[in-house]
Structure 1
């Protein structure tokens, strides 16, 4: 029995299923969670999605209101964990990625745990794992689950739309090296199932607020530092600067890719002051310019070779100085 059929068997044998994903949800974590939940419902079962915190507003159109949040509904989330006999761990490779409160619930749960993820260096905590670092996204692996468990016939627009969204966002609109022929094969299956891809692109790209555009314009015009000798661009935004532009969760998404799009850049680093620390996004181009090593070695982070995250407890100025000092070591002058 292949692992996907094993997972289907676990779903059919479970009475209470919980779907979890990482803190600070993104398109892939939300899309894969909703796609899996809807597939499980098509199998005649039910599942509860429990996330550590709320998704960015630009994803609300996916009907994220049904997702239980540890930050807002701790009693309901705790009850779901206490009742469950099967937990899905989507789009994360270590229990610390879901925040301390949900981490405690996950680690104390004695039921079966299934991890479906595409990040490097997975921890050995699940009973079953699909850990495929060659996959473009966790959403792609959910499509694989549906197909390889023998249920491609269940794919429809309702299931496929969040999965398409997950693949779209985690591949930078299909521009990253993680997009392989298999990715497009599965995308074709989603379109054949009724997903209206043009509408997904419209909802994602045509929903800017004036304050978000002003914040991003300020960041690019006033806060962009270009280390020309090393082909690295850096943007930093303080708490006060975010508040000045009425920051909402998700407003700085895409800034790192904008900074990376500058001609000649091989890496971009963007960090913002939130929740008492610096949240850092790293982006790069090419196998010869990995950023996950920098994130892991100096900023308690990690991720993919060309897309990683991290954090710093230093001030904005000190974090910027630290990054500027490290850039020559990781991106030698050319």
Structure 2
């Protein structure tokens, strides 16, 4: 692992133009790790472009450089494209996959199952977050952690560990959090922005979603559903659904929670969450998806009743 990080730092040193991207519907780790890496590269004089196929969710717009993220890729040559936290290369979006001006890719990830598409693949499924891997890269280069970088890394780690409630809350995660606070991060300030400043429309959307709560006959699987009609009624979008899946997961007796999110008529994105006993990465893999032991996802086509019936039937058989 240390040799891989050393190679990444050697490539950074001899390259000048970088593109940074992450997965569709970016979460706190995706945004935080991307912005931390961008802040680091800019601080050492590199030309950096940040591109997400989807906008930065409002929840994370307080982070430094969030306002510089683009949804299009400028027409220029990039020595290296860092692809962070995607699991599968396709999740970086069509613009990245079809970009002819990228010389090479470096893949940084902590998903249990991950495509190895880069000239270097820094993959460590024991890392609490991709932000933790960015922290290792910066520390290996003996570069000081600025306040801006610290905010981004702290956000990446705290969100992907569920505020240190999930099983990936390992000693490294706590050590990084402590170090970022020593760098000036105010733990309450970040928590207030992440958890105490949600827009009114998010709760209005949640009020539409919670009545869809459904259980399998044994009660060990529960789901909630977000439809396009709900977005229209509340004037919201998918960026406000982050965390909704935690409501069914929090129910006593539920081991696997699902969030059905309608992408377009006949197309669904399904999020999987586990309390630890069940490996949802393997469950989602049966439907072409992937992820971590406790968090995974996949896409499926069909009517809602068809998709839910297929998933519930499969889960009842394997659990």
Q: Tell whether the structures are fold-level matches, with TM greater than 0.5.
A: yes
Evaluate the alpha carbon distance shift between residue 158 and residue 264 of structure 1 in structure 2; reply closer, same or farther with a 3 A threshold. Answer: same
Inter-CA distance 10–203: structure 2 relative to 1 (3 Å threshold): same
Residues 234 and 259, structure 1, Cα contact 8 Å, conserved in 2: yes
CA distance in structure 2 between the partners assigned to 1:251 and 1:22 by the alignment: 17
2:112 corresponding residue in structure 1: 120
1:121 CA drift (Å): 2.9
Matches within 5 A, 1:100-119: 100-105=94-99, 108=100, 111-119=103-111
Q: In structure 1, what is the equivalent of residue 215 of structure 2?
A: 226
Deviates more, 1:55-64 or 1:200-209: 55-64
Change (3 A) 1:275 1:101: farther
Bigger shift: 47-56 or 134-143?
47-56
In structure 1, the residue corresponding to 2:222 is in which secondary structure?
A: strand
List runs of 5+ in structure 1 lacking aligned partners: 71-76
Whether contact under 8 Å (1:230, 1:328) holds in the other structure is no
Deviates more, 1:123-132 or 1:2-11: 2-11
Contact 2:80 2:102 in 1 (8 A): no
Distance 1:60 1:195 in 2: 16
Structure 1 position 161, deviation (Å)? 0.3
| Kept after mapping to 2: 8 A contact 1:236/1:320 | no
- Provide TM-score, normalisation by structure 1: 0.89
Cα distance per residue 1:269-302 (max 9 Å; x no partner): 111212342111110112x31112221112x311
Matched, 1:157 2:147: yes
Residue 245 (1) aligns with residue 241 (2): no
Structure 2 residue aligned with 1:32: 33
| CA distance in 2: counterparts of 1:326 and 1:6, whole angstroms | 43
Is the 8 Å Cα contact of residues 30 and 130 (structure 2) preserved in structure 1?
yes
Which segment drifts farther, 88-97 or 306-315?
Answer: 88-97
Does 1:97 find its partner at 2:91? Answer: yes
1:213 CA drift (Å): 0.8
**Pick aligned residue for 1:170 from 160, 177, 180:** 160
The 5 A counterparts of 1:51-70 are: 51-62=52-63, 63-70=65-72
Distance in 2 (alpha carbons) for counterparts of 1:207 and 1:110: 38
Q: Deviations over 1:204-258 (max 9, x none)?
A: 11222222112213322x2101225141111123221332222223222111111
Query: Which residue of the other structure, out of 183, 195, 201, is the alignment partner of 1:205?
Result: 195
Match in the other structure for 2:78: 84
User: In the alignment, which residue of structure 2 is the partner of 1:74?
Assistant: none
Q: Which residue is 2:133 aligned to? A: 141
CA contact (8 A) 1:230 1:327 kept: no
Whether the 8 Å CA contact 2:83–2:92 is kept in 1: the answer is no
Segment of structure 1 superposing worse, 164-173 or 93-102: 93-102
Aligned equivalent of 1:73? none
Structure 2 equivalent of residue 186 of structure 1: 176
Distance in 1 of aligned mates of 2:102 and 2:212: 48
SS in 2 for 1:309: strand
Determine if contact 1:156/1:190 at 8 Å carries over to the other structure.
Answer: no
Residue 110 of structure 1: CA displacement?
Answer: 6.0
What CA distance in whole angstroms lies between the structure 2 residues aligned with 1:223 and 1:312?
19
- Structure 2 residue 319 is matched with structure 1 residue 323: no
Q: Which runs of 5+ in 2 are unaligned?
A: none
- Post-superposition, which runs of at least 4 consecutive aligned residues in structure 1 deviate over 3 A? none
Distance 2:235 2:81 in 1: 37
Structure 2 length-normalised TM? 0.93
Name which of structure 1's ranges 262-271 and 59-68 shifts more when overlaid on structure 2: 59-68
